[in-house]
Amino acid sequence: MLPFKLIYHERYDLNLGAHVFPSHKYRLIAGELVKRGLAAEEDFLRPEPASDKDILRVHTPEWMNKLKTGSLTVTDIMKLEVPYSAELVEAFWLAAGGTIKAAQTALRDGFGCNLGGGFHHAYPDHGEGFCAIHDVAVAIRRMQADGAIKRAMVVDTDVHHGNGTAAIFREDDSVYTLSIHQENNYPDYKPPSTVDLSMEDGVEDEEYLRELLPAVEQGLKSFEPDMVFYLGGADPHHEDQLGGLSLTVEGLKARDAGVFEAARKRKIPVVTTMAGGYARRVEDTVQIHLNTIVAAKEVAEQFPP
Ligand SMILES: [Zn+2]
């Protein structure tokens, strides 16, 4: 049994069919965790969809209604880069509910892991890059509204810049945003995060970790967040089709463990979300995401509450 909960719903699948985004990866990750004996049935919790009230703390009523009624414009769909369906909308509402639930359980357990989410390209009034609803921002706003936390830190390790996150929290001193990403990659316009670590093409494990881990330490020390929201992108991997960095599977696990250790040593609860992953072989994407859960377990055991 794991010392924290895994939040998962079989309807996390974005229903994309043949698409570079392997939207069935969530099911594969959940299945693999059980198959390998890393998790048992009782470790899983099923989220409710986020309420509209939760969504509206981040998104505009216009954007929410477009999604709910299927009235996206051609431009909306082009920016979103995924085909619209009722299943897609349900999946985004569930992912946001999942990150909320992960945050609630993290308060109690030290970690809370959403086996989905990390949709960091979503803006308040439109979607971009496969992201329609910003689950992490929705969860931060909900936790703040409940009085459960005041200050949150977002550590975003997806290979693509966290543009939606940066835009949403740009004027907000209660949220510290850190993005480590490949400079020469999507999105073109990168609004400033609190800290942006821009990597050159082809950066490998050692250089990446040398940039990331001291910056995380520094952020935790200076900002003293009540909770860390971690986006564990699988797409800095050297075999990724949409990424141009050169991290190994081992390097990515060391990344996860390093961030978790830094937070855990300060007794700061950590919420994990999956974000992107487009490895040529979907097995690699699954392994990298699965390792995030293994890293959380190892760090939780190494530093008991
Ligand atoms: Zn990405």
Q: What is the pLDDT of residue 21?
A: 83
Q: What is the pLDDT of residue 86?
A: 92
- Percent pLDDT > 70 in the chain is 100
What's the gap in Å between 274 CA and the centre of ligand 1?
10
- Percent pLDDT > 90 in the chain is 94
Q: What is the pLDDT of residue 34?
A: 97
pLDDT tens digit sequence for 241-285: 999 999 999 999 999 999 999 999 999 999 999 999 999 999 999
What's the gap in Å between 278 CA and the centre of ligand 1?
8
The pLDDT confidence band at residue 17, using thresholds 50, 70 and 90, is confident
The residue behind tokens 């543009």 is 163
- 225: preceding bond cis by omega (within 30 degrees): no
pLDDT tens digit sequence for 168-177: 999 999 999 9
Q: What is the pLDDT of residue 23?
A: 84
What's the gap in Å between 202 CA and the centre of ligand 1?
15
The pLDDT confidence band at residue 20, using thresholds 50, 70 and 90, is confident
Q: Contact at 8 Å (CB) between 49 and 96? A: yes
DSSP 3-state of 7: strand
pLDDT tens digit sequence for 64-81: 999 999 999 999 999 999
The pLDDT confidence band at residue 305, using thresholds 50, 70 and 90, is confident
Q: Mean pLDDT in the chain?
A: 96
What's the gap in Å between 186 CA and the centre of ligand 1?
8
Element (H, E) at 198: strand 195-199
What's the gap in Å between 119 CA and the centre of ligand 1?
9
Torsions phi, psi for 6 (to 5 deg): -105, 125
What's the gap in Å between 25 CA and the centre of ligand 1?
14
Q: What is the pLDDT of residue 52?
A: 96
At residue 18, does pLDDT exceed 80? no
The pLDDT confidence band at residue 152, using thresholds 50, 70 and 90, is very high
Torsions phi, psi for 26 (to 5 deg): -60, -45
What's the gap in Å between 170 CA and the centre of ligand 1?
20
Angle between helices 282-302 and 249-265 (to 10 degrees): 30
